[in-house]
Chain A
Amino acid sequence: MTQRQTISLTRLLADERGFDAVEIETWIAEGWVRPAGAPGAWTFAAIDVARLALIRDLRHEYGVNEEALPVILRLLDQLYDQRRQVRQLCQTLTRLAPPDLLAAMHAALRDAGAAAEEGLEPEQRA
């Protein structure tokens, strides 16, 4: 997950299977993938390559068409935004919160989780 490393389109096509240069240019033009660089000299970070692979899977393995793809991508982006926030929040809490607060939160969340499985609000639990 190194951020600084990037590869070129030529290198990408050599390393990864199932990519098509024209198709990748289309996805970039649509804004579905946003590599650094300029047309003809794209540099792909690891996340860009992973996203290209995701789009490739969705298009060719799952049969998702060009209309549905941006919808799915946007939903995924929102999902990952949320998960990234939760992760950051957890890291911040782990760093700053006193241990007894963390223990209390852990217990409260476990109770809430158990209540949710029973279909109850936490307050309803005797």
Chain B
Amino acid sequence: MAEDPYAILGVARDATASQIRRAFLKLAKSSHPDLNPNDPAAEARFKAINAAHALLSDPEQRARFDRGEIDASGQERPPPEPPFRRHAYRDYAEGPAGGRYRAGPVGEGDFDDILAELLRAQRQGAGPRPGRDRRYALTIPFSTAIQGGTQRLTLPEGGVLDVRIPPGMESGQTLRLRGKGEAGEPPGDALIEITVAPHPHYRRVGRDLYFDLPVSLAEAVLGARIEVPTIGGRVTLTIPPGADTGTTLRLRGKGVPGHGKEPAGDAYATLQIRLGPADPALAEFLRTRAAPPAFDPRAGMEDMA
């Protein structure tokens, strides 16, 4: 403590003993570490004030200081640091030891109030709480899965969701609709697992479509340009002359439409010759035909038997 004790207490050098005491009390009240627990500097200030007061309140010491016989820190031996207690009361009281001087009844849980408050807030839903995700299952028509579109989902808890289906959906894929799940802050998502209904005519393999295409005998034998309904609309297809049942023709780009980086798939039409109603002229031609070409449609079946 090298500072001038008069300066520390803020009194004149000729201050009376009662002026010094009043100054000390005033300062001590604003610096006592237990009365100012939020001020970390209070303790150091308090020690300095006490030391200054100890020096100046003792007439003999004060006289010696005034005569320059001792300096502010010199002869005035600072109160020996108590060997046992090294901290202000606050440091104990705020620690676990402070439980000894608990103001409330002993045994009452310290956190009962706080926890009760937290639980109450949670029950009342006070404060933002995120909504949970909800899961739904939705079956969509085959053509919607290929082309994309909108499908209405009726919710079990009431209401509907219009689900936008991107082109090329497959069974087992899940769509996430942000914010359409349980209400909350933020609301949860709706997770919709898609099942694609089978189609009577079309099969899907990857991004390609396969279907059987009935043709007449004349179209197969002579060749033809025919119109074929596909999922994407009607397309014109050329049947080469001499086509047979099982001939597969590719309709380029008529499979699953391109989407993002995925290129469009193809459609494959496998011809199925249909004879149609009985044709007496055709029957007569086959019966009277002089030299039909040799043809065994069952060749190879022996091996399978």
A contacts, CB < 8 Å to B: 1, 3, 5, 7, 11-12, 15-17, 34, 45-51, 53-54, 57, 61-63, 74, 76-81, 83-85, 87-89
Contact B79 A1 (CB under 8 A): no
B86 / chain A contacts, CB cutoff of 8 Å: 46
B89, A54: Cβ atoms closer than 8 Å: yes
Assess whether B104 is interfacial by the CB under 8 Å rule: yes
Let me know if B110 and A46 touch, CB within 8 A.
no
* Cα A85 to Cα B99 with chains together (Å): 10
Residues of B bordering A, CB below 8 Å: 24-25, 28-29, 32, 34, 37, 79, 82-104, 110-111, 114
Choose one: A51, A53, A89; the contact of B114 (CB below 8 Å): A89
Within the complex, what minimum Cβ distance (angstroms) separates B108 from chain A?
10
Inter-chain contact B114/A80, CB cutoff 8 Å: no
Known: A62-B28, A87-B94. A81 touches B88 (CB 8 A): no
> Please, which residue of chain A has its CB at the minimum distance from the CB of B85?
A49
Q: Are B82 and A3 in contact (CB under 8 A)?
A: no
Contact A5 B89 (CB under 8 A): no
Tell me the bound Cα distance from A76 to B97 in angstroms.
15
Taking the closest CB of chain B, its distance from the CB of A111, in whole angstroms, is 15
Known: A54-B89, A79-B37. A84 touches B25 (CB 8 A): no
Would A80 and B29 be within 8 Å (CB), given that A53-B85, A88-B111 are in contact?
no
Report the bound CA distance from A7 to B83 in whole Å: 11
Q: Establish whether residues A15 and B97, one from each chain, have CB atoms under 8 Å apart when the complex forms.
A: no
Number of A-B contacts (CB under 8 A): 103
Measured CA separation A50–B97 after assembly (Å): 11
Are A54 and B34 in contact (CB-based, < 8 A)?
A: yes
A83 partner residues in chain B, CB cutoff 8 A: 37, 93-94
List 25 A–B pairs whose Cβ atoms lie within 8 Å, in order of A's numbering.
Answer: A5-B84, A12-B84, A46-B87, A47-B101, A48-B100, A49-B84, A50-B87, A50-B88, A50-B93, A51-B89, A51-B101, A57-B28, A61-B25, A61-B28, A62-B32, A63-B25, A76-B93, A79-B37, A80-B94, A83-B93, A83-B94, A84-B95, A85-B111, A88-B110, A88-B111
B36 to chain A, nearest CB (A): 11
- Whether the pair A1, B98 counts as a contact (CB closer than 8 A) is no
Query: Which residues of chain B have C-beta atoms less than 8 A from A62's C-beta?
Result: 25, 28-29, 32
Q: How far is the CB of A93 from chain B (nearest CB, A)?
A: 11
A95 to B97 alpha-carbon distance, docked (Å): 21
Q: A81 to B98, Cβ gap below 8 A?
A: yes
B97 adjacent to A47 (CB under 8 Å): yes
Looking across the interface, which residue of chain A has its beta carbon closest to that of B29? Answer: A62
Q: A residues within 8 A CB of B96?
A: 3, 84
Q: How far is B34's CA from A34's CA once the two chains are assembled, in angstroms?
A: 19
Beta-carbon contact of A46 and B85 below 8 Å: yes
For residue A80, which residues in chain B have a CB less than 8 angstroms away from its CB? Answer: 37, 90, 93-94, 98, 101
Q: Which residues of B contact A46 (CB under 8 A)?
A: 84-87, 92, 97
Given A83-B94, A84-B93, A87-B94, A47 contacting B84 (CB threshold 8 A):
no
- How far apart are the CA atoms of A28 and B82 in the complex, in Å? 21
B104 lies within 8 A of A85 (CB): no
Chain A residues closer than 8 Å to B92, beta-carbon distance:
1, 46-47, 50-51
Provide the bound-state CA to CA distance between A79 and B29, in Å.
17
Assembled-state Cα–Cα distance A15/B80 (Å): 9
Complex interface: chain B residues within 8 A of A74 (CB): 103
